[in-house]
């Protein structure tokens, strides 16, 4: 029982929380959903770039995301160069965004900024390795440049869903998890650690609670941080479907985290494939219709322009039609 939970580094969590508090105040009374601010425009084409790692790893990651882009109106453009077989890269010296989603393998843990935070340079200080500026990582998959863990494809999809503005299923306000977590220690628990300092059951079999367990290594979370990551998000401006135990966005916890067994809060999916609920959520945020529209526009554009970028022949009607089609095919509002 030694689980390193997936979460953003603490300074970034704090920055997001401060920004969200400011936004709640600034937009009070406006009919605007927090999720509207963090989602990308439906039909959008998001560029992805890699900081490090080999082409083989890039290819497998790009492959795994197809399960997402196949079902919704978002395109992930990995910048595959057909001549060299190489994928798009970015560097920590970049001053313009090489990509909306900037992937790295060199930081600790798995995490991603949520939605449009990925391109928000005001979010975190410029010296942070992670943030929304061109030289900052927006999504990290620790060690994925080398040997991939068994459930790697599920982790890739989980993090890319964050990048598409998804939050965690266990924080769904309609879910059973808040009442299901064993927040406190068993009564009379005598703090006991293994040789790596991890809190374990004491000699009488009494177990540490979630706060105690996560307060020790390897996570070392404060109670505030546990609350921010695991407590229900009480927000009426977040789109939330019914609790989905099959979701790849549901944390896999150890059995001792739960009050009951089997727990209604425990994942029932394989942790690798998108659930029906994940797909519904994706299609709610990014209706697939827009992608079909983009494809139709692209076909029409190719047919009308004969493949030539400048084909307008000075006819303003024709020029405007081509501009509109180009916008639609690129996911821009013309």
Closest approach of Zn ion to the CB of residue 212, in Å: 22
Distances (CA, A) of 280 to 88, 115, 242: 30, 17, 11
- At residue 45, φ and ψ (nearest 5 deg) are -105, 115
Region from 2-10, 74-82, 217-225, 273-281 binding Zn ion, contact rule CB under 5 A: 2-10
Q: Which is nearer to Zn ion, 6 or 185 (CB)?
A: 6
Contacts to Zn ion from residues 200-229, by CB under 5 A: none
In angstroms, the first-to-last Cα distance of the chain is 54
Q: Which residues contact 13 (CB under 8 A, 6 or more apart)?
A: 7, 225, 228, 229
- According to DSSP, the β-strands at 199-200 and 192-193 are antiparallel
Q: Indicate the burial class of 257 (C-beta count within 10 angstroms; 0-12, 13-18, 19 or more).
A: buried
Binding mask 5-44 for Zn ion (x = CB under 5 A): -x--------------------------------------
Distances (CA, A) of 208 to 151, 186, 331: 27, 6, 50
Q: Which is nearer to Zn ion, 267 or 331 (CB)?
A: 267
Nearest 5 degrees, angle CA 57-CA 62-CA 80?
90
Q: Which is nearer to Zn ion, 154 or 208 (CB)?
A: 154
Closest approach of Zn ion to the CB of residue 166, in Å: 8
Closest approach of Zn ion to the CB of residue 6, in Å: 5
Q: Which is nearer to Zn ion, 165 or 328 (CB)?
A: 165
Q: Is residue 198 a contact partner of residue 175, using CB atoms and an 8 Å limit?
A: no
Closest approach of Zn ion to the CB of residue 271, in Å: 12
Closest approach of Zn ion to the CB of residue 200, in Å: 25
Q: Nearest residue to Zn ion, using CB?
A: 6
Q: 200's torsion region: left (phi>0), alpha (psi -120 to 50) or beta?
A: beta
Closest approach of Zn ion to the CB of residue 62, in Å: 20
Size of the site for Zn ion (CB under 5 A): 1
Closest approach of Zn ion to the CB of residue 119, in Å: 19
Region from 4-12, 230-238, 272-280, 324-332 binding Zn ion, contact rule CB under 5 A: 4-12
Q: Which is nearer to Zn ion, 6 or 120 (CB)?
A: 6
Q: Which is nearer to Zn ion, 6 or 278 (CB)?
A: 6
Q: Which is nearer to Zn ion, 15 or 250 (CB)?
A: 250
Closest approach of Zn ion to the CB of residue 189, in Å: 29
Q: Which is nearer to Zn ion, 6 or 244 (CB)?
A: 6
Closest CA to 113 of 161, 71, 181, 78: 161
Binding site for Zn ion (CB under 5 A): 6
């Amino acid at each position: 029982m030694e689980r390193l939970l997936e979460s953003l580094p603490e300074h970034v969590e704090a920055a997001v929380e401060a920004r969200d508090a400011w936004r709640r105040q600034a937009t009070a009374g406006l009919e605007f959903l927090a999720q509207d601010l963090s989602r990308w425009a439906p039909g959008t084409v998001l560029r992805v770039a890699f900081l490090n790692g080999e082409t083989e790893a890039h290819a497998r990651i790009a492959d795994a995301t197809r399960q997402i882009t196949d079902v919704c109106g978002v395109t992930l453009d990995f910048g595959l160069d057909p001549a060299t077989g190489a994928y798009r890269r970015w560097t920590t010296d970049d001053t313009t965004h090489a990509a909306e989603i900037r992937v790295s393998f060199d930081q600790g843990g798995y995490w991603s900024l949520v939605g449009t935070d990925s391109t928000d340079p005001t979010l975190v200080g410029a010296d942070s390795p992670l943030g929304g500026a061109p030289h900052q990582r927006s999504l990290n998959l620790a060690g994925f440049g080398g040997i991939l863990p068994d459930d790697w494809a599920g982790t890739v999809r989980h993090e890319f869903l964050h990048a598409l503005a998804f939050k965690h299923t266990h924080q769904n306000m309609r879910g059973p998890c808040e009442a299901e977590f064993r927040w406190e220690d068993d009564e009379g628990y005598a703090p006991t650690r293994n040789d790596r300092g991890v809190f374990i059951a004491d000699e009488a079999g009494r177990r540490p609670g979630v706060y105690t367990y996560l307060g020790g290594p390897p996570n070392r979370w404060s109670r505030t941080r546990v609350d921010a990551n695991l407590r229900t998000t009480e927000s009426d401006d977040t789109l939330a479907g019914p609790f989905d135990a099959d979701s790849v966005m549901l944390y896999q916890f150890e059995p001792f985290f739960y009050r009951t067994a089997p727990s209604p809060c425990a994942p029932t999916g394989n942790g690798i494939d998108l659930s029906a609920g994940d797909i519904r959520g994706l299609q709610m945020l990014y209706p697939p219709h827009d992608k079909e529209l983009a494809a139709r526009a692209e076909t029409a554009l190719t047919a009308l322009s004969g493949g030539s970028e400048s084909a307008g022949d000075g006819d303003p009607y024709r020029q405007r039609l081509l501009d509109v089609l180009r916008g639609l095919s690129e996911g821009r509002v013309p």
